[in-house]
Amino acid sequence: MYVKQINFTNTMKTSEQLRIRSQVNNSLKKLLIHLSSGKAHTLIELIKSTKTSKSKLNDILGELMLMNVVKTRKNRNHTYYYIENPEKIDFLKPFLPHPNTPLKIPSGMKYSRHCYKHLAGYVGVKLEEALIRHNFIIRQDLEDDYNNYRVTPEGWEWFSQFGISKESIESSGGRLTKQCLDFSERKSHLGGKLGDALLGEFFEKGWVYQVPDSREVKLTEAGKKGMLKELGINLTPFN
């Protein structure tokens, strides 16, 4: 086995961290460095980035999946591997040698765009993370074909200020929420009818506008101020 059983708890002791650190070999370290970003990666991407053989990487990923550390999700014809639980990511970071590279903020369509009828890109992912942080939505099991998020009572109250009511949106049919894997950020953004309705209201309020002949969506000054006030998302201009 490449990995011994790891018991992830909220109160992990230093001695246990040291014990686990000694068990982690170079291939596993390289793999966890990439996965600890919270982004999802294909097997081919992980093979290239870790410089590990396919068979060895499959063995390591298989063990991590059995331990419920790594999960998979399908998007079109690809399988993506990721670490979903933030507590597990936070635990891994202290003993992984992360390079000191500056944060790169994407531009253009990678920064903000529409995916079908909902918000995507860097801004879409930050929106989803903020809604979760404020306990407005809660991620559910991806195997739930209808809803990938549960909207809390506080969430419905927050959405109502945009004219989005639980009764009207649930009665319209179709999937209410979806964890849509963002192709550039490799994290989830909010899709489904709720995501569609929220972006529609952002357009109505003048928080965003669409670039002509493009999927790119730009935030207005009102949108940046609104995101900061309502959700604590600081979306200042980036170069």
What domain count does the chain have? 2
Q: What is the value of pTM for the model shown?
A: 0.73
HSE, side-chain direction, 13 A CA sphere, residue 19: 9
| pLDDT tens digits for range 48-106 | 988 888 988 988 888 888 878 888 988 778 899 998 776 666 666 665 655 555 656 77
In the chain, % of residues over pLDDT 90: 47
Rounded to 5°, the CA angle 43-46-52 comes to 105
Residues 154, 182: one domain?
yes
Range of the domain at 26: 14-95
Q: Is residue 6 part of a domain?
A: no
If asked whether residues 185 and 114 sit together in one domain, one would say yes
Has residue 20 been placed in a domain? Answer: yes
Q: Which two tokens mark 236?
A: 């200042």
Residue 190 phi/psi, 5-degree rounding, is: -80, 115
Q: Let me know: does 86 contact 9? Beta carbons within 8 Å.
A: no
Nearest by Cα to 93 from 50, 36, 26, 24? 36
| pLDDT tens-digit readout, 208-224 | 999 999 999 999 999 99
CB atoms within 10 A of CB 215: 14
CATH of the domain at 72: 1.10.10.10
Are the beta carbons of 118 and 199 closer than 8 angstroms? yes
Show the DSSP H helices in the chain as ranges. 14-23, 26-35, 43-50, 54-66, 86-92, 121-133, 153-160, 166-170, 192-204, 221-231
In a domain, 2, yes or no: no
Q: How far apart are CA 238 and CA 112, in angstroms?
A: 12
